[in-house]
Amino acid sequence: MKNLYTPRAARVKGIVPETRDVRTLRLALEDADEPFDFAPGQFLELSVPRVGEATFCIASCPGDTEHIECSVKRVGAVTEAIHMLDLESLVGIRGPYGNGFPMETLKGKDLLFVGGGIGLAPLRGLIREVLRARDDYGALTILYGARTPADMVYKDELDVWQGRDDVRTVLTVDPGGETPDWKAEVGYVPDVLRKTAPKPDAGVAVVCGPPIMIRLTLAVFDELDFDAECILTTLELKMKCGIGQCGRCNVGPLYVCKDGPVFTYAQIKEFMEDILHI
């Protein structure tokens, strides 16, 4: 008898080093005829045989038909094993899971993306999707920060975004992380956001990064008088099943895996202390 925890076999088709501890995997399912339809913002469960399974957002967008991409930071047993994989290594994929970004709601609006570190991964799929239909959206601003210039992921893509005149890209590194040739901002993401002072009537902000960055960034949006309904964040809490059954990724009555990972700030505000405990 089948069970929904048995993954689909996939192979590593590409490995892109991003930083000293992040790499992006390009994955292809062995049963490529079976669809893997996903929306930007959804996630998958990636298995390394005999090591384990962990949750990763899908960093590519639905239009990237050749591969599914996940960016993986080396922090624990499973991610360590993922970093040891070679081309053509066997992995397992379950999913896609989660709600994804509300694309219809975003259409026609100005969008402000705020990302920190590896938290750019889920935003990247969304930004790609938005840029594929650029005319459907208003002004686009990308605010991205990392500890140091070397810790920035998707450097080629950042260059492309910076080169476009229809996207405003603001890059920043943490104080002390700047190098002599660093020309952009120096400051933590929430502080740089406060300085750029986006207008609260503009559109929708989408935030993703480490818990402390999300928490402080949302606080800045409060200061700037943004409507909590117009701020989206994508969360990642410890999860195992991906389908709302194993019981550990809840935000109050909501499950990150099933009702999220994309939430409005309004949805999670009541539980900030519980889930973004810092």
Partner 1 sequence: MIAKRDQLGAQIAELLETMEIVAPVRERGRVYFRAVRSPDDIAWDYGTSVNSIKEFFLPPRQVLFCYTSGGFKPVSAVPEKPRVIFLARPCDARALNIMDKVFLGDRPDETYAALREHATIVGLACDRPDQHCFCTSVGGSPAGTEGMDAILIPTGDGSYDVKILSDKGRAIFPDVPGDDSTVPDEFVQKAEAAIRRHITVPDNIRDSFASDYWREVSETCLKCGLCSHLCPTCHCFDIVEEGDCRVRCWDYCQSDTFTRIAAGHDHRAEKFSRCRNRVYHKFDYYPENFGVVACVGCGRCARHCPVNNGIADLVNGVDAR
Measured from the CB atom, the residue of 4 and 197 that comes closer to partner 1 is 4
Task: Name, in order, each residue with C-beta under 8 angstroms of 127's C-beta and a sequence gap of 6 or more.
Answer: 113, 140, 142, 161
Residue 266 lies near partner 1 (rule: CB under 8 A)? no
CB distance 70 to 58 below 8 Å: yes
**Cα 32 to Cα 28: distance, rounded to the nearest angstrom:** 7
**Cα 79 to Cα 191: distance, rounded to the nearest angstrom:** 31
Min dist. Cβ of residue 111 to partner 1 (A): 27
- Within residues 105-164, the interface with partner 1 by CB under 8 A covers none
**Cα 260 to Cα 267: distance, rounded to the nearest angstrom:** 10
Measured from the CB atom, the residue of 77 and 133 that comes closer to partner 1 is 77
The residues facing 251 across adjacent strands are 254
**Interface mask (CB under 8 A) for partner 1, residues 71-100, using x and -?**
----xxxxx----------x-x--------
Q: Please work out the total of residues on this chain that contact partner 1, with binding judged by CB under 8 A.
A: 44
Measured from the CB atom, the residue of 28 and 158 that comes closer to partner 1 is 28
Measured from the CB atom, the residue of 21 and 178 that comes closer to partner 1 is 21
Min dist. Cβ of residue 202 to partner 1 (A): 30
Min dist. Cβ of residue 183 to partner 1 (A): 31
Residue 219 lies near partner 1 (rule: CB under 8 A)? no
51 exposed, middle or buried (CB, 10 Å; 0-12, 13-18, 19+)? middle
**Interface mask (CB under 8 A) for partner 1, residues 184-213, using x and -?**
---------------------------x--
Measured from the CB atom, the residue of 11 and 109 that comes closer to partner 1 is 11
- Count other C-beta atoms under 10 Å from residue 58's C-beta: 29
Residue 16 lies near partner 1 (rule: CB under 8 A)? no
- Within residues 229-258, the interface with partner 1 by CB under 8 A covers 237-238, 240-241, 243-250, 252-253
**Interface mask (CB under 8 A) for partner 1, residues 29-58, using x and -?**
-x----------------x-xxxxxx----
Terminal CA-CA length for the chain: 43
Q: Which two tokens stand for residue 252?
A: 């109050």
**Cα 186 to Cα 173: distance, rounded to the nearest angstrom:** 5
Closest CA to 232 of 140, 111, 151: 111
Measured from the CB atom, the residue of 7 and 40 that comes closer to partner 1 is 7
CA distances for 277 relative to 6, 55, 214, angstroms: 33, 20, 11
Q: Which positions lie near partner 1, rule CB under 8 A?
A: 1-7, 9, 30, 47, 49-54, 75-79, 90, 92, 211, 237-238, 240-241, 243-250, 252-253, 270, 273-277
